[in-house]
Amino acid sequence: MRPIALACLLTLAAPVAHAEPASPPPAHVAITAARLIAPEQGKVIEHPLVLVDGDRIREVRSGGDVPDGYEKIDLGAATLLPGLIDCHVHLGGDPTLSSGNYYEDVLKRSVIDDAVTAHVFARRTLEAGFTTVRNLGSGAYLDVALRNAIDAGRIPGPRILAATLPLGATGGHADDTTGFSPYIQFHGATGVADGVEAVRRQVREDVKRGADVIKFMASAGVLSAEESVGAPQYSQAEMDAIVDESHRWGRKVAAHAHGAEAIKMAIKAGVDSVEHSSLIDDEGLKLARQHGTWLVFDVYNDDYILSEYARLGYPATMVEKEKKVGRLQRESFRRAVQAGEKLAFGTDAGVYPHGWNGKQFAKMVEWGMTPMQAIQAATTNAAELLGRADRIGAVKPGYYADLVAVSGDPLADVATLERVGFVMKGGAVVRNEVAPKP
């Protein structure tokens, strides 16, 4: 490396080395509330006392005195829950950034613009009560850098499992050049790969760059320029290779899939989760049960797309594609609930504003879940899908002290989860707007 280049790198790195560390949380905290929803047991614990030591939960019990040496946080009449988990977000973007002209945004914005705002959306997500998220794709490895900064305590945000560059076929949902003139070129890293050897190589590249999970586009999509919304975009051999290579490297696999055939192909390949699952048929539901595949339905954002995306300047063809799948996706979700499928909470936040993640709970209940099932989807179920069921998704000894609280009872009105007033992540209070007991 040239001396000048090295000097530049050292200059850029210097502020990071001297950044002020995050304030450590109190060593011992005792939290009380009116009730605790324990999703792993499917029950409510009245008058809970949760003892936190450092970033972990030490003890959970009903009632009792606060031990000496513990700082008490009394949440009064509030309901306490585990930190919530969203298995499908995109922290690199947000529709509130739109200029009102889709093509102007595509041609004038870059991943640098996304990078300077991603921390804002990470904080909004955390303050909304989501202490862990799976970021299913971002440009230029933005999600890896964001994850690392949060883990180092430099900025606030949820725990992130990063997918880095999603894999996709040429001309497909991950190909940013689809629909543009062949003389327009977009530079930078891409997950576009065709053929068995190429997709294996791309999986390895993603792992090399820090991916916690691998995401690929099994089907066409809504917010892209292909004519179809759900046609398969990889062959069975390519899907098989992606899953085999990912699992070889110890990474779980999420498949974006709207169409029934693409969903079944992805399940047969052995994916860990199918995202969107919009047009899944009875055969697909049966295959998911047989393979133990998790289904993730983003059943809120149809409302936002249909009400706002025309105003935001998105092409009419994209809005029309959403009209084809939105209602059908919710009907598929209801059939999946009735069939007893493995369902985890994922919203596709970034398609609608970050921090609104909790709005999906009411839609899940409207379309067939009980409030407890919806909460389990965003806690115990999501933790199991992410492979983190031994440390998040429940309020239990040894787990991270990730806790949220709401005024009221979400089992009576699940919409209260849209208004989280208390958030603790790893023993540190992020937000406390829950009124104390008189």
Which of 74, 49, 70 is CA-nearest to residue 59?
49
Shared domain check, 254 and 324: yes
The verdict on residue 9 lying in a domain is no
Per the domain annotation, does 12 fall within a domain? no
**pLDDT above 90 (res 98):** no
pLDDT in tens, 314-339: 999 999 999 999 999 999 999 999 99
Cα 407 from Cα 419, distance rounded (Å)? 8
Q: pLDDT digits over 221-263, tens only?
A: 998 888 899 999 999 999 999 999 999 999 999 999 999 999 9
The fraction of the chain above a pLDDT of 90, given in percent, is 83
For residues 333 and 410, membership in a common domain is answered with no
pLDDT value at 344 more than 90: yes
Q: Give the model confidence (pLDDT) of 384-420 as tens digits.
A: 999 999 999 999 999 999 999 999 999 999 999 999 9
Report the CATH number that the domain containing residue 315 is assigned in CATH: 3.20.20.140
Q: Are residues 346 and 202 in the same domain?
A: yes
The answer as to whether 280 is a domain residue is yes
Predicted confidence (pLDDT) at residue 113 exceeds the cutoff of 50:
yes
pLDDT at 16: 37
Domain residues for 34? Answer: 28-82+394-432
Share of the chain above pLDDT 70, in %: 93
34 or 227: which carries more pLDDT confidence? Answer: 34
Q: Could you tell me the pTM of the whole model? A: 0.92
Q: Is 98 among the domain residues?
A: yes
Compute the mean pLDDT over every residue in the chain, rounded to the nearest whole number.
Answer: 92
- Domain co-membership, 272 together with 311: yes
Q: In angstroms, rounded to a whole number, what is the distance separating the alpha carbons of residues 202 and 191?
A: 7
Name residue 151's amino acid. Answer: D
In a domain, 64, yes or no: yes
428 and 315 within one domain: no
pLDDT of residue 99: 82
Q: Are both 342 and 417 inside the same structural domain?
A: no
d(CA 360, CA 372): 14
Are both 170 and 188 inside the same structural domain?
A: yes
In the predicted model, what is the mean pLDDT of residues 290-311? 96
Total number of domains constituting the chain: 2
Please report, in angstroms and rounded to a whole number, the separation of the first and last CA atoms in the chain: 65
**Position 69 in a domain:** yes
Does the pLDDT of residue 70 top 70, yes or no?
yes
55: CATH: 2.30.40.10
In a domain? residue 5: no
pLDDT above 80: residue 208: yes
Q: How many helices (H) and strands (E) does the chain have?
A: 13, 18
